[in-house]
Each structure stands twice: as C-alpha cells, then as structure tokens.
Structure 1
C-alpha cells in the first residue's frame, strides 16, 4: 500500500535513514556479513563495523568506547540500566518520574512488583520535573531503603521539554545514588551539557538517522551492568547474541554525522515558532482555544498542543488523509485507547486525550510547514470537532 503522507512531521517517533547510513549498511551487507565473533578474515571485517559503532557512540556521548554496550535499541538499553542497580534480594529504592518513556516506566513498575521501593516524582504542569521534587522524593525514599538509582530523561519525547539533569545529578550523587539519563531524544539534537552528570546514558540509532534494531547503553567507568539475557560472551557477556554488522555500520555513520546535528536542529527553532503562531491563529479562526503542552524550555524542533473538542488520534488520522504525518503521543504507546500517560501526569486526561505532537527534522522546510498548515486548515474547517 503506498504511503499517503508526503509531509513527515513525526521525527520524534523515528527519523528517515540518512543516505550515507544506507550506503554504509549496503557496503556491510556485501563485505561484512560474517559473524563478528569469528576470528577469520571475514569475521574480523564484520567485527570492525561493531567497533567503529562503539567508538562513534562513545565520541558522540562523551564517554569511553570500553563502556559502550550495544543493544537492540533504546528499550533494551533502558531495561539494562534499570536492572543493574537492583540485584535480586538486595533492598533498594528507585526515584523516577511519570513522564519517562514507557521503557523506563514499565520497567520501574516491574521492579516495584518484585519488591524494589519506587518513588514516583510528579512533574510540573509546564512539563519539567523540578529538582526540589526529586530532593523530596530522594529524602523520603531513603527512610525506606537505600536509593540506588535515579532516572530522568534529558528531553521529553512528547513535549520536547528539557529536564534539569545536571541539578538532579548533583542531588543523586550527594546521596550516593547513580543517575540514569535516557538521552534518546537529546543525542544528536542538543549539546552534551544536556545529559551532563549522568552515570548511565541510553541512545537509539533510529532517532539520529540510523537504522532501527540497534542502540546503546553507555556507562561511567567501573559500573557493573548485569545481563538480562543469558547466552554467549558478546558485548562482554552483557548482551549475548550475534551482533549485526549491517546495523552497526548504520549506527556508526549515524553517530558520526550526529556530532554536527545540534547546529542543524537549532535552525529549526524559527520554523517551529512560525508553525506555532499559525496554528494558534488557525485555532482562533475555528473557535478553538489551543492549549500548549510543555511551556518550559524545549528542544527546538518539538511542539505539542491540545485541541479542545477533538480527539488527538482522530485529528491525526484526518491529517494523514491530507498527507501530513503527525502523532498524538509516543509511538511506543500508540494503538491504545488510553490518553498519553506523560500528558495525563502533566495536565490531566482531558487535555491529554486531545493532544497532537509535531516534531520537525533536518529535512523539514518552510514550504512543507506552510503546506501542512493549509492541510490543517482544511481539516478543521470542513469537520466539526468531535465533542
């Protein structure tokens, strides 16, 4: 079935693979298809791509290649990071907010089910999790069990709000806890200062123009990660299973070119401002008072509005018929009837139900934005909001 969406404004869900990434993967498929664990020549050629990916990710994040564990993606990386702090039978506490990605929230709930004390931090309506709230949660959790880990994403995946990682890192370290930073929406879009102070950082290739199916957990030296899978000795035994040199080739090139991407993303701020201003005008003309979700400083390419009287998923479907791809929440939560847990925690279920996220990317143009606005206008003019 052909793709009806010609204007892609959902770069937070995934990014189109860059041509250089596809070229590297094609080269690896032809020349480096062997098992990277094999010691013969074909195996060594395959292994070279694995190590190039490891080195590129380390350089991008600002850590050492020896502390990069390649995974199947961001979800596995976040699960590995959370599991490392809580060996079975060892008391401990985790401090985390409700606006984290599902791969963190669901893993935290699983830890709670097996006896880990989980302290949930409530976000502000602005979309930011205040350091003072983390301090309160840390001190309260300590009365129950030693806090072993704090989790805080660098940039929220639905609102783009930048979180106070450095301040929370100081709070966690002062109490002897480590900080996990899900930097999947920040790496390649903002500077390293966005995750400064993290002890563990997670990355996903497909958010930086790379392939799906590969990501990384990066740690400070000396942190002992425990495997959640059992098998061979790949990735120092932390992630057993035969590595894919084609995916690694794509990840390597994507990570290398992502070092210069924050400057490209910074240029999107003016496009976003134009989009937001026109959407507010369009809503006013249609009698809809838009509500912005995420009012604290944001990454320059993301905006999120609630459209009172509409269901966000139905508005997205109507726009898709016009050839515009946007989303009503995290792609990892799509397909459910429930409103976004992130926005529900921030502003309540009613606004969450009517929310639409728009995320721009390196290839987004002003002409595309203006055409998307024309499509949006046709939708809201011809269709009565669903009340």
Structure 2
C-alpha cells in the first residue's frame, strides 16, 4: 500500500511565517466544528499565556456540528451561525455558493480512541470521514485538514467489524487519495507547540493533486520538547498553565471559574478510576477527554484530609481545563459545567491549530497559489 507517512516531512517555524498585508483571505468550510478549537486557530487574533497569536489569512464561511450546546457556545464566541443538522442530512446544494479554499474536519474520534470501545470503521461515527470527502469533492478546495486521535493508526476493523490487516487510517487516507488529493499525516503533540497538556493527534494534510505533491506540504516545526535540550524551550507544565487561577474561584473577572464551574463528583480512595486522581504540577496535564464529564481530575494543589473525607480535593474548573487546552481567557463557555467539559475535551487545542493553519498558509504561499 502507498505510504502516506514521510519521515523527512517539511517543517517550518510558524512564528517566523509572515503574512503580507495585501494577502487575500482564503475561504474555509469547517465540518464537525464542535466548540471551535480548530476554527479559532485558523481565525487567530487571540492571546494565550502571554503570547499573541496573530490574525490568520482565513475567512470562516460555514460551520457545522450536531452538539447543540457546543454550537451555542461557538455562536457566542465567533459571532456567526452554526448549521446544526447532521452532515449526512445536508445536501451540497444547500452549502454556501462560494469558492472554498480549505476544508477542515475533526471527524468523530471516539470510535478510534484507546479509551473507547474501539469499534473503528464498523461504528457509524467511524464512517463520517466519507461525508467530509463528499463536501471536499463538491468544493474541490486547494487543501484540507483532518484531525483524529492517535489510536486511528492501530484501529483494524472493517466496516462490518471484522479484523483486517489495514488500519482505519490507511483506509481513510486512501479514500482521500482517490478523491484527488495528495495526502500525508503526522502525529503532533500539543505540548510541542506551547500547550500545557500532552495530547497526541493525527493531523492529515491533503493538497489537490493538480496543485502540489506530498513533498510540497509543510507541517509546523516542533517548538518545545520534554527536556528543553532540543528546542531550548521545555514543555509547559500544568502549573505554568493554571496556577494563577488557584485563588480566583468566584472572581468576577475570570470566566467559567466559580463554584458552579467545577464538578462535585465524589472521589474514591485507593481505586483506579477515570479522573480519580490529581494532575501533576511539574509536567503537562494529561489529555483532557470528552468522556470525563463529571470525573475530571483534581487540581494538583489539593490535598486529602484523610482516607474517609475527600472534600480536600477540588476537581479542575471549566476555565482550568480550557487553559490546559489553550483556549484564551475571553472564550466564554456559557453552558453547564458538564457540557463545557465535554466540548473542551473534544476540541483541537487552538494554539496547536494556529500553528497548523500557519503551515497551511505557508504551503500554499510557497507554491504561489494562495489567491488562485
């Protein structure tokens, strides 16, 4: 089978990529948008932990998701409507009648996740990449960006649930190839880009075959590493990400950080259960998962009073989990804490997405096709 993974993939320091003022914005269609983590990275113009992530040369013209609460929050923060019908039910004739340059899609990942039931392509959610391809074939964008969990590389079930030798990722990449795109993937860790969370995700980039080859596509260069020896910048720790929020519960200047904005779910001494522990202060937080719901982990500053009284542990607040996912502090999760935890856990970290977006622009600009 054709290889879509290249050890010598081109990389670019995205902080060094300049966007000329006269650059025409590229139109973007966003599928499976969720609360908009990937979209925020493509929009840009936000601040996170003292760094400004500048405006991107992209214009979001359409967004879609069936998670009502996430769509509500998206609309509050982005200021435009989300199409809430299932992508299966949307006829291409109902889509915006405009030229589209980029299609984004973090198609559902639960069926491929190591922490899920691993139904793979046999789960209807595992087939939704085909809907993304349907939209891509309609618009014929210059490039597309798809995102999913690392477990997609090792999910080996066909659409009937039978074990096969080919991974779900290979099957999906081949389908994008047949649709007319030169594709490749890399596994990116959000911690490598200044996010105080260890979160490995498969990022698939495809470029239309008449515009470029696999080797023309650039990915963002790693900017942080575990020890700091390679990049001169060490991974950000959870403490660096959220410690300033510790004493600000109920502070009216901090969004989503009141006593109503953290789970009161019980802890169980000595049991190994999802979320039944504290995060560590001195390293990136573990992956924030959508399945946490009320069982989000506890803050590293909390301590147990004794084995029978767990009130000493406070679970992470919505704002703290949003910080660990690199959402800016002015991004308002105006919903219940349980819904907020879910949409934050489902999101692409905006800071990582910003770097991916910049590398997409660099790819197209280098080829001289940013405005063709």
TM over 0.5: no
Q: Which has the higher helix share?
A: 1
| More contact order relative to length (CA 8 Å, sep ≥ 6) | 1
TM-score by length of 2: 0.35
**Bigger CA radius of gyration:** 1
